[in-house]
């Protein structure tokens, strides 16, 4: 008989991540700023949850049969989550990814057995965009297309797990939640879970430059300007997972502010995170300032910094983009 404290394989070890109080962000704002440590999932990111939810839904509806193949277009982390879950359940994966993503993600996907197809980075309006390429590959081969952007199993997985965990871990003492969106599954699912308990809880979408979602929330338009080095977040369209999500507000965060938090968390709190987590913490600080002292704000620490060593912790790359470098590397 298995002890309750023992996880059942990989699948049982996804989720139930710690909620970490971020000391410097909390002190700076007079609020409690808490980060959900999703980098502690077995595949190293929040996307393990989406991978598990999407595969389970496909198994339940009968589209994914024993020995089958899942195809997905991804910035990397969802591909990793899907591949690891697929490995554990006996499925194959074909992962389509823009060639501009970090070398660490490319190497990791190959290491864990994904059939990786790199394609040129193109906008969603182009048929060569990685999402469209993945859909065509799935259709041509008769495989299951994970379709993380519009597959509502993504946000439903977060509603049932991540959102429920945050409510339980805070004991309901939470005033606001914020995070960035790639597919929108994390923000939408958590928002739905939290608002079901507390309708006046504030949900703020965090957005990098070069994405249209800030303007979509604040002005109802899909205008975008600028660019960002963050990977896997920001959009030129509204994915299906975001449609109808209860979002109250949005903040736009520059790469400079995101990197400041990445470096600060690493060197002062020993928490190594990637660019999207840095952006999320910067957004949580902005939300805290809007609300004033005494509030509790939760965000997502999406993945770890090691996945971006060649970019975020590469002074040559950062200087080439006109961005600040880690102070200890300068």
Q: What is the pLDDT of residues 210-250, one digit of tens each?
A: 999 999 999 999 998 899 999 999 999 999 999 999 999 99
Comparing CA positions, the residue from 250, 268, 265 lying closest to residue 312 is 265
Tokens (6 digits) for 292: 């004033």
Phi-psi region of 322 (alpha: psi -120 to 50; beta: other; left: phi over 0): left
Mean model confidence pLDDT for the chain: 96
Q: Is the pLDDT of residue 1 over 70?
A: no
pLDDT bucket at 330, cuts 50 / 70 / 90: confident
Residue 228 is predicted with a pLDDT of: 95
Averaged pLDDT for residues 42-54: 98
Distance between CA atoms of residues 205 and 251, nearest Å: 6
pLDDT bucket at 302, cuts 50 / 70 / 90: very high
pLDDT bucket at 135, cuts 50 / 70 / 90: very high
pTM for the predicted model, two decimal places: 0.96
Comparing CA positions, the residue from 302, 300, 77, 75 lying closest to residue 203 is 300
Give the lowest-confidence range in 2-6, 106-110, 251-255, 262-266.
2-6
How remote is the C-alpha of 308 from its chain's centroid?
14
Tokens (6 digits) for 165: 């965990």
Q: What is the pLDDT of residues 144-173, one digit of tens each?
A: 999 999 999 999 999 999 999 999 999 999
- Give the residue numbers marked as catalytic: 47
Residue 2 is predicted with a pLDDT of: 66
| β-strand pairing of 69-73 with 92-98 | parallel
Q: Is the pLDDT of residue 261 over 90?
A: yes
Pseudo-torsion of CA 18, 23, 24, 27, nearest 10°? Answer: 130
Comparing CA positions, the residue from 300, 299, 330, 303 lying closest to residue 316 is 330
Q: Using DSSP, how many helices (H) and how many strands (E) does the chain show? A: 13, 10
Q: Is the pLDDT of residue 4 over 80?
A: no
The answer to whether residues 263 and 326 touch, using CB atoms and an 8 Å cutoff, is yes
Q: Is the pLDDT of residue 3 over 90?
A: no
Residue 174 is predicted with a pLDDT of: 98
Is residue 246 packed enough to be buried (19+ CB in 10 Å), middle (13-18) or exposed (0-12)?
middle
Q: What is the pLDDT of residues 278-295, one digit of tens each?
A: 999 999 999 999 999 999
Contacts of residue 4, Cβ cutoff 8 Å, sequence gap at least 6: none
Averaged pLDDT for residues 39-56: 98
Q: Is the pLDDT of residue 270 over 70?
A: yes
């Amino acid at each position: 008989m298995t002890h309750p404290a023992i996880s059942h394989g990989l699948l049982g070890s996804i989720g139930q991540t710690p909620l970490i109080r971020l000391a410097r962000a909390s002190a700076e704002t007079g609020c409690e700023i808490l980060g959900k440590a999703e980098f502690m999932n077995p595949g190293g990111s929040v996307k393990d949850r989406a991978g598990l939810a999407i595969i389970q839904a496909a198994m339940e509806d009968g589209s994914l049969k024993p020995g089958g193949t899942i195809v997905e277009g991804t910035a990397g982390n969802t591909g990793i989550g899907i591949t690891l879950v697929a490995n554990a359940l006996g499925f194959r994966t074909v992962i389509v990814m823009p060639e501009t993503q970090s070398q660490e993600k490319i190497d990791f996907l190959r290491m864990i057995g994904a059939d990786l197809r790199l394609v040129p980075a193109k906008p969603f309006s182009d048929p060569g965009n990685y999402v469209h390429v993945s859909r065509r590959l799935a259709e041509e081969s008769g495989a299951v297309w994970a379709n993380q952007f519009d597959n509502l199993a993504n946000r439903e997985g977060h509603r049932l797990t991540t959102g429920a965990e945050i409510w339980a871990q805070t004991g309901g003492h939470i005033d606001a939640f914020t995070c960035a969106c790639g597919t929108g599954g994390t923000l939408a699912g958590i928002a739905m879970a939290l608002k079901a308990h507390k309708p006046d809880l504030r949900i703020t979408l965090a957005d990098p430059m070069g994405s249209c979602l800030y303007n979509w929330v604040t002005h109802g338009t899909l205008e975008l300007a600028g660019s960002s080095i963050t990977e896997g977040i920001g959009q030129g369209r509204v994915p299906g997972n975001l449609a109808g999500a209860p979002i109250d507000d949005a903040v736009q965060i520059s790469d400079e502010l995101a990197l400041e938090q990445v470096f600060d968390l690493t060197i002062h709190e020993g928490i190594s995170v990637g660019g999207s987590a840095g952006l999320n913490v910067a957004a949580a600080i902005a939300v805290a300032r809007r609300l004033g002292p005494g509030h509790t704000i939760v965000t997502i620490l999406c993945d770890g910094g090691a996945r971006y060593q060649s970019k975020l912790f590469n002074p040559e790359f950062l200087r080439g983009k006109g961005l600040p470098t880690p102070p200890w590397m300068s």
